[in-house]
Amino acid sequence: MHPLMSRRTRLSLAVAAIPVIALTFAVPFVNRDEPHVFGLPFILAWLIVWIVLTPPFMWIIHRVIEGRR
């Protein structure tokens, strides 16, 4: 069986898609100045938060879903 078709890998890809979508396709929906977060325009705060959240998402894939060291 194709390794990418395994259920575990599909779940990994679905979780990985969340930060990627947040940094790309979600941008038109958050592209505004208000409300300001920590003094930053909303869009900039959104992007920074999602960049910081990417490693936790990938860590969950790595450790929890794929069970790697």
Partner 1 sequence: MSAPVIALAVAATIIACAIVVGLLGGRHKLSNPSEFLVAGRSLGALLLWILLAGEIYTAFTFLGAAGWAYGRGAPVYYILCYGPVAYVIGYFVMPLAWKVGNRYGMLTIGDFFATRYTSSSLGAFVAVVGFVFLIPYIALQLSGLQTLLSIAGYGTINAQLAVIIAVLVIALFVFSTGLRGAAWTAIVKDAVVLAGVIFAGVVLPIHFFGSPAGVIARVEAIKPHWLTLSTSDPTYNLTWFISTVALNGAAFFLFPQSLMSVYSAKSAGSLRRNYVWLPFYNVMLALMVFAGLTALIVRPGLSGPDVDQSFVSVVAKYYPPWVLGAIAGAGSLAALVPVSVQLLGASGLFMKNVVEDALSWRGSERQRTLAVRVLVLALAAGALVLWVFLKTTLVELLLIAYNGMAQFVPGFAAAFWWRRATALGVAAGIAAGITICIYGVVAKVSAVLGVNIGLVALAVNAIVMYIFSVVTTAPRAELVDAFRSAAFADDDATTN
Q: What does the binding site for partner 1 look like in residue numbers (CB under 8 A)?
A: 2-4, 12-13, 16, 19-20, 23-25, 27-28, 31-33, 36, 38-41, 43-44, 47-48, 50-52, 54-55, 58-59, 61-62, 68-69
Give the residue with the Cβ less far from partner 1, 7 or 54: 54
Best CA proximity match to 30, nearest among 17, 48, 42, 41: 42
Nearest approach, Cβ of residue 37 and partner 1 (Å): 10
Angle at 22 between CA 20 and CA 46, to 5 degrees: 130
Nearest approach, Cβ of residue 61 and partner 1 (Å): 7
Residues pairing with 37 in the sheet: 40
